[in-house]
Chain A
Amino acid sequence: MRRQDPLAQERRARLGLLLVTILVIVPVALIVGTVIVKGIGAVDWEFLSTAPRNGLREGGILPAIVGTLVLVAGAVLWSVPFGVATAIYLVEYAPRSQIARWVRLAILNLAGIPSVVYGLFGLGIFVIGLKLGVSILAGTLTLALMNLPVIVTSTAESLKAVPDRFRVASLALGASRWQTVRHIVLPNSLQGILTGIILETSRAAGETAPILFTVAAFYLPRLPRTIYDQVMALPMHLYAISTQVPNIGMDVRYGVALVLLGLVLGVNAIAIAVRSRMRRNRIW
């Protein structure tokens, strides 16, 4: 083979990698751009603050926005305590135990289950089995179940990022395991844990399949009053008006997509802000 000039090689490699990297940004920019351009016309105060009318063709999407927020909040409420507690046990108390091995295996498998299967499971167990009906309770439990493996994993990673020498020093000063977790490990991993939770939340906000059979309503103009009510949700609403309702303006569909996108990106932006603060404040 002919000898190559390493400098020219380096230039070509740099250029090639840069082009491929730019290629990755293009679809994201196109999607966000299209949604904004086509949807911005439909989004005004009335769109955001009123219920749909005339078979979803007119009015706004307030119930779907509220519904999505309720679902996300509910899912966080159920999944975070269980997920964080599980991660603490796995990392801090029994990393090498048999039960930890089983839990890790279960989490690995849970994370691989398609979301529609969670939806069917929620229908079978929560809606029918536990007789919760198609309700916020059933829907948020289903979403929480789907969130759980990711929250356990991301929390465990944040806990592991705290150097072991801090744990050893704390234990050597006569602190108990729990005191060490409470006063050393958690304060120094909290921002990482929060970031994981927020990112998972934004994913849950966009999910359709798990809520399809468990909570989502096609058309329900009034806002929910109890956890046994159904709610509308943005992804479900988008699916409904795009496939089930004829003669609906293109700008309305893109408007719904824009609101959903804004919600998800907004949540992600918070996560990024939290994470960069964490990097700045890290002192070891």
Chain B
Amino acid sequence: MVMPTTDALSIQNLSVNFGNKTALRDISLDIHKGELLGIIGPTTSGKTTFLTVLNRMIDTLPDAKVRGRIRMGDLNLLATQQVQSVRRRVGMIFALPVALPLTIRGNVEYGPRRSGVRDPGILDVLVEDSLKAAGLWEEVETRLDSPALKLSGGQQQRLCIARALALKPEVLLLDEPCSGLDPLSTARVEDTLIALRGDVTIVLVTNNPYQASRVADRTAFFLGGELVELNDTKALFTLPKDERTQAYIEGKFG
């Protein structure tokens, strides 16, 4: 009998090369269903590459070579040809908010429409639910048909989250989602993530260790393409097992 899995994603021996440059080396970790996993580490530690593998956006990068296995339920995520379906199930938010040059409504409807949802009633519900879940509804409900690019940076980032949520993803990947935002907008995005935790599995890559310590259930520390340490957030920040982790969270490098 197959045991019911409690892992949203199970990653085994993942390595990524760009040409002869190694970006990730032999990463193995399980991401639990519904958790908010923080990933910290200095630049070039492989955090972003790790995210792009999880929803196969790595396919769009030239010269990327990926080895290892990733299991999502019954799906062999790295082998499947159904890349679009993977990207719908595993949404991604980028460091800089990228609102598409459409209306606010058009942005949120974009994913569902491309996957074949046409019914205006269903789309309306999706738009409202997703914007509410991303904490943006009250700010935009009266101007859903105005251009999304007129929104502020923080609003655009929450729009990006709403847009990804409209596809009802199982996993949401966020790549330093607050790096371009002011503290107030950052706080709003963090509130949004905390509210989403539990319903959606979230992987949050951040350059700011304090952000991980504020919101993450567990935190992983990446360095030079390797997973140095993974532990409950509180344990990792108070009693790091590896001296490199300790040095990083104390701000000695990175």
Binding site for B on A (CB under 8 A): 96, 165-166, 168-176, 179, 183-184, 187-188, 283-284
Cβ of B101 and Cβ of A179 under 8 Å apart?
no
CA distance A244 to B163 in the complex (A): 69
B155 within 8 Å of A (CB atoms): no
- When the two chains form the complex, which single residue of B60, B98, B114 contacts A183, counting CB atoms closer than 8 Å? B114
B6 at the interface (CB under 8 A from A): no
State in angstroms the CA–CA spacing of A165 and B85 once bound together.
Answer: 20
Give the residues in chain A near B248, CB-CB below 8 Å: none
A173 touches B164 (CB 8 A): yes
CB atoms of B57 and A173 under 8 A apart: no
Contact A179 B114 (CB under 8 A): yes
CB distance from B174 to the nearest CB of A (A): 12
Which residue of B has the minimal Cβ distance to A171?
B60
Complex Cα–Cα for A171 and B91 (A): 10
B62, B85, B87, B149: the one contacting A172 at CB < 8 Å is B87
Alpha-carbon distance between A62 and B60 when the two chains are bound, in angstroms: 55
Q: With CB as the reference atom, state the residue of chain A lying closest to B60.
A: A171
Closest to B149 in A: A283
Known: A169-B160, A173-B110, A179-B114. 6 other contacts (CB 8 A): A165-B94, A169-B94, A171-B87, A172-B57, A174-B111, A174-B114
Residues of A contacting B160 in the complex (Cβ-Cβ under 8 angstroms): 169
How distant is the Cα of A96 from the Cα of B84 in the complex, in angstroms?
Answer: 22
Does any Cβ of A come within 8 Å of B147's Cβ?
A: yes
B92 on interface, CB distance cutoff 8 Å: yes
- Chain B: interface residue total (CB-CB under 8 A): 26
Contact A166–B101 (Cβ < 8 Å): yes
Rounded to whole angstroms, the CA-CA distance of A1 and B227 in the bound complex is 64
Across the interface, name the chain B residue whose C-beta is closest to A163.
Answer: B98
Docked complex Cα distance between A248 and B216 (Å): 89
Asked if B189 lies at the interface with its beta carbon under 8 angstroms from chain A, I say no
8 contacts between A and B (CB under 8 A): A165-B98, A168-B94, A172-B55, A174-B87, A174-B115, A179-B114, A187-B101, A284-B149
- Who on chain B is nearest to A179 by CB? B114
Given A165-B96, A183-B114, also A173-B101 (CB < 8 A): no
Closest residue of B by beta carbon distance from A180: B114
Measured between beta carbons, the chain A residues less than 8 angstroms from B149 are 283-284
Given A283-B147, A284-B149, answer yes or no on A172-B92 (Cβ-Cβ < 8 Å).
yes
Q: How far is the CA of A174 from the CA of B160 in the complex (A)?
A: 14
